[in-house]
Homo-oligomer: A and B are copies of this chain.
Amino acid sequence: MKAIVTVMLKAGVLDPQGKAIGTALHHLGFPAVADVRVGKVIELELGDMAPQDAQAAAQAMAEKLLANPVMESFRVDLAG
Contact = CB atoms under 8 A, between A and B. Distances in A.
Contact of A25 (B33, B47, B61): B61
Contacts of A24: 65
A44 B30 CA distance: 11
- Main secondary structure on chain A at its contact with chain B? mixed
A65 B25 CA distance: 8
Contact of A45 (B34, B44, B60, B66): B34
Contacts of A60: 30
Interface residues of A, number: 31
Nearest to A43: B37
B8 A65 contact: no
21 contacts: A8-B41, A8-B43, A21-B42, A24-B65, A25-B44, A28-B64, A28-B65, A30-B60, A30-B61, A32-B47, A33-B44, A33-B45, A33-B46, A33-B61, A34-B45, A34-B46, A36-B42, A37-B43, A38-B40, A38-B42, A38-B43
